[in-house]
């Protein structure tokens, strides 16, 4: 197959045309390093290897870009990279980031669990769900939640005092608070108990 055109595209890509037809969009840096020029011949095996190298380079670049902005779990990182590069290249790049110490699921899970449980005051089951959504292994998610989760009554008391106190003066407000606490993952039974105890305590004062 004859290289008939190399046309720059957005996002540092170059369109490779073989025999007048678009064959692939490749990472421009990878293409430059390959030394490929218009008029050169390229067979199927060479094209495949070029596409693989391009994919790998784009995956690595995307991984580093994402990790500059915030931490990711290994699976979350691979999922995001795969929007730019092939799945295989994305998973290899995520593995490489893990080897370099730039991805650490255990530390990521701990940090996220602390954020959800101790700052946002999510219930344990909601926090575990969020960890799973980020690609954290179920056993690791459960371990972190069990270790870091306060007792439900402690978190509910904190939320009622710090966030929802002004909404508890009438029935309509209490219903809104009940719904908000359910969205944080608390059971109806725990919420009713917390509301009853808090309102009784306030009335005693």
CB 108 within 8 A of CB 71: yes
Rounded Cα distance between 45 and 63, Å, is: 27
CB 31 within 8 A of CB 4: no
Strand partners, 69: none
Rounded Cα distance between 46 and 67, Å, is: 32
Residue owning tokens 């008391």: 157
Q: Using pLDDT thresholds of 50, 70 and 90, give the confidence band for residue 201.
A: low
pTM of the shown model: 0.77
3-99 belongs to CATH 1.10.10.10: yes
Q: What is the pLDDT of residues 167-198, one digit of tens each?
A: 888 889 899 999 999 999 999 999 999 998 88
- φ and ψ at residue 29, rounded to 5 degrees: -65, -40
Q: Using pLDDT thresholds of 50, 70 and 90, give the confidence band for residue 204.
A: very low
Report the pLDDT value the prediction gives residue 205, as an integer from 0 to 100: 46
């Amino acid at each position: 197959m004859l290289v008939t055109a190399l046309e720059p595209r957005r996002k540092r890509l170059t369109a490779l045309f073989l025999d007048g037809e678009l064959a692939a969009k490749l990472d421009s840096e990878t293409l430059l390093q390959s030394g490929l020029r218009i008029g050169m011949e390229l067979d199927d095996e060479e094209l495949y290897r070029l596409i693989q190298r391009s994919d790998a380079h784009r995956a690595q670049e995307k991984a580093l870009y994402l990790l500059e902005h915030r931490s990711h779990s290994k699976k979350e990182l691979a999922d995001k990279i795969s929007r730019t590069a092939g799945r295989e290249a994305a998973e290899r790049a995520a593995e490489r980031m893990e080897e370099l110490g730039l991805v650490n699921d255990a530390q990521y899970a701990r940090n996220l669990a602390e954020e959800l449980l101790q700052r946002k005051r999510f219930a344990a089951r909601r926090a575990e769900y969020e960890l799973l959504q980020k690609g954290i292994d179920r056993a690791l998610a459960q371990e972190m939640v069990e270790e870091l989760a306060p007792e439900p009554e402690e978190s509910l008391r904190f939320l009622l005092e710090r966030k929802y106190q002004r909404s508890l003066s009438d029935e309509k407000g209490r219903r809104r608070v009940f719904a908000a606490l359910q969205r944080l993952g608390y059971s109806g039974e725990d919420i009713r108990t917390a509301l009853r105890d808090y309102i009784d305590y306030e009335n005693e004062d």
